C-alpha cells in the first residue's frame, strides 16, 4: 500500500548522515504496485520485532532512556507538568477510567506501540491566530485561510481528501506549527511538530494486527479504534475490519506527531473519526 511505502521512505531517510538533506515524504516517488503488506509476519519479521526493527530505531528504538530522577518528588512534579501539557485546559484534572497498559517501547514508531498513554477528550480549546503551541498540545484554531496555514502536504483518504495536513514551514526539520483540517466545526486543529504523518484505518490495521499484543501493547488510541471498528465493521477485538474497511477509511485518520526529525523515544498520536478528535495519547518507552 502507498502509505506503508511512505513509512519506509521516512525510515530510510533517517539512516543517512545528519548533514545530508532529506526530502519530505510528500515529494517521494513511489511505485504504483507498492500496495499491501502481509498482516501476519513471518519468522524474520518477528525476529526484527524483538530487536526493535528499523522503524523503531528511526524513531527512538536505540534512544537511551532518561535516567531516573534522584528525588522522587521532582520526578512526580515533572510527570504532572508533562500530563498537563498534553491535556486540553477544560479537561485537565477530570476523572476518566482508562485501562492501563504496560509501559514498553513501541515497536513501530509510526502507528504502533505501548508506552505512557495520556487520555484526552479532544482538542476543543480555541487559540488565536499566531499562537505557538508547545509540543504535545493540540488546540482548535478558526478563521485561517489555506494560505495562512502554509502548504498542504498530505490528504486522507487519498483521492478524496476529507482531512488535509498543512505545514507552516515546508522543508524545515525544526519544531513548527502544523494544521489539520476536515472537522465538523469548520476549524482546523493546530499542533507543533518536527515531523507529522497521517495514516488511515487500513494502514493502522496492517501494523496493529501484524504483531501480538505482548509485543505491541494496546494504547489509548488503539483501544478507541477497536470500539469504532466494532460498531462500524461488526467484528471482534483484535480482528481486521474486513470487507467494510472502506467505511472506516472514509473518515478515520491517525496523526503521528514527532518532536524531532530522526530519533524519538516518544511521540504523540491523535485519532480522528467522523470530523472529531476521539482520542490522544503519548507512545514510546
The pLDDT confidence band at residue 29, using thresholds 50, 70 and 90, is: low
Residue 5 clears pLDDT 80, i.e. is over it: no
Look over the chain and give the mean of its residue pLDDT values, rounded to a whole number: 72
Instruction: State which of 40-49, 54-63, 69-78, 226-235 shows the largest mean pLDDT.
Output: 226-235
Least confident span in 189-193, 207-211, 269-273 = 207-211
Q: What is the pLDDT of residue 161?
A: 81
Instruction: State which of 63-67, 118-122, 235-239 shows the largest mean pLDDT.
Output: 235-239
The pLDDT confidence band at residue 192, using thresholds 50, 70 and 90, is: very high
The pLDDT confidence band at residue 252, using thresholds 50, 70 and 90, is: very high
Q: What is the pLDDT of residue 211?
A: 72
How many domains in the chain?
Answer: 1
Residue 46 clears pLDDT 60, i.e. is over it: no
Which is more confident, 23 or 203?
A: 203
What are φ and ψ of residue 263, in 5° steps?
-80, 130
What percentage of the chain has pLDDT greater than the value 70? 55
113: phi > 0 → left, psi -120 to 50 → alpha, else beta; which?
left
Q: What is the pTM of this model?
A: 0.60
Is the separation of the CB atoms in 216 and 276 below 8 Å?
A: no
Residue 91 clears pLDDT 80, i.e. is over it: no
The per-residue pLDDT for range 154-169, each reduced to its tens digit, is 999 887 789 999 999 9
Task: Specify the DSSP element, H or E, that contains 279.
Answer: strand 276-284
Q: What is the pLDDT of residue 179?
A: 98
Dihedral, CA atoms, 96, 98, 103, 107, nearest 10 degrees?
-120
Domain ranges, residue 238? 2-284
126: phi > 0 → left, psi -120 to 50 → alpha, else beta; which?
beta
Rounded average pLDDT over 91-111: 38
Residue 23 clears pLDDT 50, i.e. is over it: no
Is the separation of the CB atoms in 112 and 217 below 8 Å?
A: no
The pLDDT confidence band at residue 54, using thresholds 50, 70 and 90, is: very low
Rounded average pLDDT over 10-34: 45
Is the separation of the CB atoms in 58 and 263 below 8 Å?
A: yes
Residue 123 clears pLDDT 50, i.e. is over it: yes
The pLDDT confidence band at residue 215, using thresholds 50, 70 and 90, is: confident
Q: What is the pLDDT of residue 15?
A: 44
Residue 259 clears pLDDT 90, i.e. is over it: yes
d(CA 90, CA 76): 22
Of the candidates 257, 259, 279, 264, the one whose C-alpha atom is nearest the C-alpha of residue 111 is 257
d(CA 255, CA 247): 19
Amino acid at each position: 500500500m502507498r502509505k506503508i511505502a511512505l513509512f519506509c521512505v521516512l525510515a530510510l531517510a533517517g539512516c543517512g548522515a545528519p548533514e545530508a538533506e532529506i526530502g519530505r515524504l510528500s515529494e517521494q516517488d513511489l511505485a504504483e504496485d507498492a500496495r499491501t503488506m502481509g498482516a501476519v509476519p513471518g519468522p524474520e519479521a518477528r525476529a526484527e520485532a524483538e530487536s526493535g526493527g528499523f522503524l523503531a530505531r528511526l524513531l527512538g528504538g536505540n534512544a537511551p532512556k532518561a535516567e531516573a530522577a534522584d528525588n522522587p518528588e521532582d520526578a512526580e512534579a515533572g510527570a504532572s507538568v508533562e500530563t498537563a501539557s498534553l491535556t486540553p485546559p477544560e479537561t485537565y484534572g477530570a476523572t476518566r477510567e482508562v485501562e492501563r497498559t504496560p509501559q514498553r517501547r513501541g515497536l513501530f514508531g509510526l502507528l504502533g506501540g505501548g508506552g505512557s498513554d495520556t487520555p484526552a477528550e479532544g482538542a476543543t480549546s480555541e487559540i488565536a491566530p499566531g499562537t505557538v503551541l508547545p509540543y504535545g498540545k493540540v488546540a482548535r484554531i478558526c478563521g485561517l485561510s489555506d494560505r495562512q496555514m502554509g502548504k498542504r502536504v498530505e490528504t486522507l483518504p487519498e483521492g478524496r481528501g476529507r482531512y488535509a495536513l498543512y505545514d507552516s514551514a515546508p522543508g524545515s526539520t525544526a519544531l513548527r506549527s502544523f494544521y489539520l483540517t476536515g472537522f465538523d466545526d469548520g476549524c482546523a486543529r493546530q499542533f507543533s511538530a518536527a515531523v507529522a504523518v497521517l495514516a488511515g484505518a487500513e494502514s493502522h490495521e496492517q501494523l496493529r494486527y501484524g504483531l501480538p499484543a505482548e509485543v505491541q501493547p494496546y494504547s489509548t488510541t488503539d483501544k478507541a479504534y477497536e470500539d469504532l471498528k466494532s460498531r462500524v465493521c461488526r467484528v471482534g477485538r483484535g480482528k481486521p475490519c474486513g470487507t467494510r474497511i472502506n467505511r472506516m477509511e472514509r473518515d478515520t485518520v491517525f496523526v503521528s506527531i514527532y518532536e524531532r526529525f530522526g530519533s524519538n523515544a516518544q511521540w504523540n498520536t491523535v485519532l480522528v473519526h467522523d470530523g472529531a478528535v476521539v482520542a490522544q495519547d503519548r507512545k514510546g518507552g
